[in-house]
Amino acid sequence: MRVELPVIVCMFMAKGKKYLSRVVKIGKLKLGGDNPVRVQSMCNTDTRNVKATVQQILAMEKEGCEIVRVAVLDMAAAKAIGQIKKKIHIPLVADIHFDYKLALEVIQQGVDKVRVNPGNIGSEEKVRSVVAACKKKKIPIRIGINAGSLEQDLLNKYGATPQAAVESALRHVRILEKLNFKDILISIKFSDVSRMIAAYRLLAKKVDYPLHLGVTEAGTAFMGSIKSAIGIGVLLEEGIGATMRVSLTADPLEEIPVCWAILRSLDLRRRGPEMISCPTCGRTQIDLIGLAGCVEKELKKIKQPIKVAVMGCVVNGPGEAREADIGVAGGKGMGAIFVKGQVVRSVKEDQILPELMKEIKKITRKAK
């Protein structure tokens, strides 16, 4: 199943540091290989409601979503795909369970990827017809394994373990490979981080398809973001993963900034400004928490990837934030503004925010 990789890649893999998958195209977007890790999310609108779905996707695009998935529950939803596609700008994925006719319809409607498990759609003839349609339109298939719906025989053999999930994924992969179809992506999701990481690591040793990372049913915004950041982050740091979805019990728009924060934290990709700020301590003599909140709000209006440091004191501030473009280090009722780690002037506390923003605007204007 794994193709022979160049020596240099194998060396990385031997160190457990790099999983270089084959490249798969979704619409115009390339996933896997050396391509950037792509950010995706899923609509929670009724797909049959084209207006609401398009509205949500356009809002997601603004947040930086690069691939979007919609649930296709019936033929009316499948037929809505074409209309949705016309009004959005990012690749559209249809999520289908069991019904091959829905898969055929969304392909006909111009969808960019289908998430369907070939082993769940019935006879070989049905699988063949879906694969033939995908081949014709050059549409990839994502095999999506979820720990909550593993086959009974695998559960009997392994329990709900990473081994069972990987074996399940490989069964679906084999069905597609038998039909000489290799435009495959795979996800293998657990709701707990340890098994999720173990499953993807195991899978990455067995296949060379791009992997879609995610912790499923991760929870509400706070806990879900933390679980996702750990699970996805660990794997990305090891070079595993071509795309990711952070699953939150929240507005899907909230998922996208979390994806970007994970990518930025690992220095894999940057989008918009980044703020670093100190936790405050007994040395802090200004309202640093309030200031950091205001700066963060202001930075939302800026698109350039600048780094801003908001630090509590001059003892450690500029040094700790040396790599920031602009920053402030608080003193007693005042703040020292610094640029690239060098203090350029000191201002009274009530002037810190406007002075900081003035410096930030200078840099962002130059960068335009």
Q: Which residues bind ligand SF4 (CB under 6 A)?
A: 278-281, 283-284, 311-313, 315-317, 320
Query: Nearest distance from residue 313's CB to ligand SF4, in Å?
Result: 3
DSSP state of 254: G
Q: Which is nearer to ligand SF4, 206 or 283 (CB)?
A: 283
The contacts of residue 139 (CB under 8 Å, 6+ apart) are: 107, 111, 112, 113, 114, 133, 183
Q: Which is nearer to ligand SF4, 122 or 290 (CB)?
A: 290
- Residues present in the chain in total: 368
Q: Which is nearer to ligand SF4, 223 or 281 (CB)?
A: 281
Query: Nearest distance from residue 353's CB to ligand SF4, in Å?
Result: 18
Q: Which is nearer to ligand SF4, 20 or 339 (CB)?
A: 339
Give which of 255, 250, 206, 214 is closest to 232, Cα–Cα. 214
- Residues 34 and 37: their CA atoms lie apart, in Å, by 9
Q: Which is nearer to ligand SF4, 162 or 317 (CB)?
A: 317
Q: Residue 73, exposed/middle/buried by CB under 10 A (0-12, 13-18, 19+)?
A: middle
Query: Nearest distance from residue 333's CB to ligand SF4, in Å?
Result: 14
Query: Nearest distance from residue 302's CB to ligand SF4, in Å?
Result: 23
Both tokens assigned to 285 = 């003599």
Answer for the pair 329, 291: CB distance below 8 angstroms, yes or no.
no
**3-class state of residue 175 by DSSP:** helix
Q: Where are the beta strands (DSSP E) in the chain?
A: 24-26, 29-31, 38-42, 67-71, 92-95, 113-115, 141-146, 184-189, 212-213, 243-245, 274-277, 307-311, 326-330, 334-339, 342-348
Q: Measured at CB, which residue is nearest to ligand SF4? A: 312
Query: Nearest distance from residue 260's CB to ligand SF4, in Å?
Result: 25
Query: Nearest distance from residue 277's CB to ligand SF4, in Å?
Result: 8
The contacts of residue 365 (CB under 8 Å, 6+ apart) are: none
Q: Which is nearer to ligand SF4, 276 or 347 (CB)?
A: 276
Beta-bridge mates of residue 339:
326, 342
Q: Which is nearer to ligand SF4, 75 or 281 (CB)?
A: 281
Query: Nearest distance from residue 90's CB to ligand SF4, in Å?
Result: 40
How many other CB atoms sit within 10 Å of the CB of residue 220?
Answer: 11
